Amino acid sequence: MKQGRDEGQATVELALVLPVVVLMLLLVMQVGLVIRDQVMLVHSAREAARAAAVDDDSGAARTGALAGSRLDGDRLEVSTSGRGEAGSYVTVTLTYPSLIDLPFVGRLIDDIELEASATMRVEEKP
């Protein structure tokens, strides 16, 4: 009885599995990018709250948020609430869309809206 030849079987298996492996790697990379954006957003929220706590200018929170990270200012939304006299608390909320733009992944997943907030005590001006 003659046995069949197995030459080329590994090549066919690789050709079938490789696209799935590449897609999984792209998904992992995209998750890493979203996590990076979230970490930068949390850091920016803290910087924005600090700026709003020491400066009563309405644009201080946005300036602090942009100075605290490399986020795209065109996509960053900053809202401030609760600022009053010294000793009160100010809360800054940042909203930022994390773009899903890696090849193939962008077709599978929509952009993700990230949000971070920080609260700090308003300080007296010297």
Domain parsing of the chain, residue ranges: 10-121
8 A C-beta contact, residue 121 and residue 82: no
- pTM listed for this prediction: 0.83
pLDDT at 46: 96
Rounded Cα distance between 40 and 68, Å, is 8
Amino acid found at 115: E
Neighbours of 118 (CB within 10 A): 22
The tens-digit pLDDT sequence of the chain (126 residues) is 456 566 788 888 889 999 999 999 999 999 999 999 999 999 999 999 999 999 989 899 999 999 978 899 999 999 999 888 889 999 999 999 999 988 888 888 899 999 999 999 998 876
Per-residue model confidence (pLDDT) at position 1? 46
